Structure 1
Amino acid sequence: MEGTTQKNAIQNGSRNRVYIYVLLAVLVLAVFFLLMKLFFSSRTLNAHLLKDEIFLNENLVYTDNTPGAGKWMWEFGDGALSNAQNGFYRFKKAGTYLVRLTVDDKLQQQFAVVVKDTVATPVMDSIRITGPTSGTTREQLRLEAEGDAQNFEWSFGETGRVDVKGRTAFYTYNTPGKYRVALRTERSALPVYFLLTITEPDDPLANLVAPGAGAQALKDDFKVKLQNIADGRDFRGNYYYLVRKYLCNGERTKTEAQDETGQKSSDFYSYCIGLTFSKGIIIDEVSLSVVPNSQCVNLVNVQQHRLTQH
């Protein structure tokens, strides 16, 4: 009898140890999954679109720099999908689309994109508007009307009335926002529209270099912003800083880049987009040519090289 009792005690002790081991294993797994959940939930998306308002003949440029990301799903709101981290997409119809990015099947971010019809403006009596698409408050903007007309009336969307008459229009906004400029001529009962984005001048990226700084300081400032783009840092902020501060909003300014493969010519927009898709680009030197009697750069020369992979 005593032997049976001792045997049962041993079996009960073994069973209890098994229960303890199982419980410890469950606790370890629970802690592991909790830590993994906390790690992934603490990440935030670092994605952006180059522009949220484009034309039908213009590419929607998208990119994501979320730390530790390994899987992407871009949904463009018209049924099209992409699993690329960075790239571009062209819509087939004008309209407003909700673009959604899902990273690692967990993190999500949405962007509203307006796609405008590029056919309406040139067809309508061949009248079109040229000029910058963005500016700041208290900055005088200049827009030009092109086409066969005699009478031009401009409404800049801030006052609700006709603001300027004539082929060339100068206007200064007082309030930031998105404005639709309307140009009426005797050629058509319908106006031609032009979209402007106005921001406050005290952008955190603005005025980092004093206006009286020397030429070398300006070139160094330009070089730093290009290197930021090449390194995948805040494309939109660095790109528009350079466009507004140095190029007078000239996104198509001629740009020549020289590296170990030779010299390539393009416009500034295309060059910067190319930097986002390149890896290991080092900007060595930047030289700027300025339009006489102005502060607008009309030629950008870049010396660069690519880091060798070992």
Structure 2
Amino acid sequence: MNIKNKTVVILLLIVAVILIVVALVFPFNKKISNLDFSISDENDNHQYELNEKLSFKINDNTLISDKRAVWYFGNGDSIVSNKNVEYTYEKTGKYLVTLKIDNKFDFSKQINIVNGRRMTARDSIPKIFCEEFGYVGEEIVFTSYSPSSNNWYWEFGETGTIDSYEKQAIYVFSKPGVYTVKLETDKTRYPITKEIEIFQLYEPFKEPEVVDSAGIVINDIKKRLQIIANLGTKDAKAYKEQVNYIKRNYICNDLSDVVVVVNEEKYNDFLSYCQGLHYLDGNATIIQDVKLDTIKCFKQINITQKTKKTK
């Protein structure tokens, strides 16, 4: 065999080796590129829910039948399997599901796990949340709870028209009075109503420029509490005016956050104390002394009181 023939043989052998490598490697890569997986939910409502069994299905298992595959669920859990698997998430959130082949090829999809509580007819009945009373010129927040609703129509009783189309509305009343707030949604047949009482805005409290400013504040609060005690049980409006006056001028937090210590042995929050003083004890109570932890924005008030002697 001359040199020319030997060269031809060597070239043919090189070409054969290349063809074998291409036949073995390239088809595999081509098949792997066609690999995919789908995710289906158990109740078939097309959303992935908390504690629901989900199925992860490979489009063609034969593509990786002889390969090592690992499913990663984005929360630290994994399953080693080159077949279809099932998995249940125990926490809501967004996760990246990844199928990894031979530790080389990754196929990923994002999944959003939601709280899957099913809506009932009760969820279509809206509820109105707002303060029971407010003041002229004050921004009052009205919120609705109705998860199945998409449209909201608020009427606050002052303009005679729809005042807001938002789920959470803010309104400022221009006149005092009792107003009927109406809310309709795309799920209601008739409007839902709730009353709110609007009072005239009091002048902001100005600390008197006197030495005994604490005494003036204490005497003022003591006087207001005595008025509450002396009011008849039907004088709800006057009762609210006195409570609102104290809140407006001296309290910065919710009334339920202020601690009341009565005669150094009984305890209430301020709102419950005022309600009991008005509706339960009434004219039988005399307010003797009041002590505050601070003049402005007090969080604790110590009250000394006694019961009138009956003849």
Sort the TM-score into its range (normalised by shorter chain).
Answer: 0.3 to 0.5
TM-score normalized by the length of structure 1: 0.45
Using the size of structure 2 for normalisation, the TM-score is 0.45
Return the index of the structure with the highest Cα Rg: 2
